[in-house]
Amino acid sequence: MRSNQEIDYRIFGEEMQCVEIELDPQETVIAEAGAFMYKDNSVQMQTIFGDGSKDSDGIFGKLLSAGKRVLTGESLFMTAFTHSGSGKARVAFASPYPGKIIPLDLQQLEGKVIAQKDAFLCAAKGVSLGINFQKRLGTGLFGGEGFIMEKLEGDGMAFVHAGGHIMERTLALGETLHIDTGCVVAYTKDIDFDIQMIGGIRNTIFGGEGFFFAVLRGPGKVWLQTLPISRLASRIIQYSPQFGKRKEEGSVLGGLGNMLDGDGF
Residue 200 lies in a domain: no
pLDDT given at position 71: 56
Among 100, 111, 79, residue whose Cα is nearest residue 159 = 100
Sign of CA dihedral 149, 150, 153, 158: negative
Using one digit for the tens of pLDDT, what is the confidence trace for 162-190? 999 999 999 999 999 998 888 999 999 99
User: Does the pLDDT of residue 19 top 60, yes or no?
Assistant: yes
d(C-alpha 234, C-alpha 228), whole Å:
10
Using one digit for the tens of pLDDT, what is the confidence trace for 108-166? 999 999 998 889 999 999 898 888 876 554 444 444 444 578 899 999 999 999 999 99
Omega cis (within 30) before 219: yes
Strands 120-124 and 157-163, by their bridges, are antiparallel
pLDDT top residue among 55 and 222: 222
Give the contacts of 186 (CB within 8 A, at least 6 positions apart): 102, 104, 113, 114, 115, 116, 119, 160, 162, 222, 223
pLDDT given at position 166: 94
Give the contacts of 213 (CB within 8 A, at least 6 positions apart): 178, 179, 180, 181, 195, 196, 198
pLDDT top residue among 70 and 247: 70
d(C-alpha 234, C-alpha 249), whole Å:
11
Give the contacts of 245 (CB within 8 A, at least 6 positions apart): 254, 258, 263, 265
How confident is residue 13, by pLDDT bands cut at 50, 70 and 90? very high
pLDDT given at position 198: 66
Residue 24 lies in a domain: yes
Among 124, 111, 115, residue whose Cα is nearest residue 78 = 124
Residue 196 lies in a domain: no
pLDDT given at position 182: 85
Give the contacts of 176 (CB within 8 A, at least 6 positions apart): 215, 216, 217, 218
Q: Is 169 in contact with 102 (CB distance < 8 Å)?
A: no
258: helix, strand or coil: helix
Q: Is 163 in contact with 99 (CB distance < 8 Å)?
A: yes
62: helix, strand or coil: helix
pLDDT given at position 260: 40
Domain range for 68: 8-163
pLDDT top residue among 146 and 12: 12
- CATH code of 41's domain: 3.60.160.10
Give the contacts of 71 (CB within 8 A, at least 6 positions apart): 131, 148
Residue 191 lies in a domain: no
Using one digit for the tens of pLDDT, what is the confidence trace for 43-102? 999 988 766 665 445 555 555 555 555 555 556 678 999 999 999 999 999 988 889 999
Q: What's the domain count of the chain?
A: 1
pLDDT given at position 214: 85
Residue 55 lies in a domain: yes
Minimum mean pLDDT range among 10-14, 196-200, 212-216, 236-240: 196-200
- CA end-to-end span of the chain: 65
pLDDT given at position 5: 78
Amino acid (one-letter) located at 72 = T
Radius of gyration of the chain (CA): 21
Residue 210 lies in a domain: no
Amino acid (one-letter) located at 209 = E
pLDDT given at position 146: 47
Residue 169 lies in a domain: no
User: Does the pLDDT of residue 199 top 60, yes or no?
Assistant: no
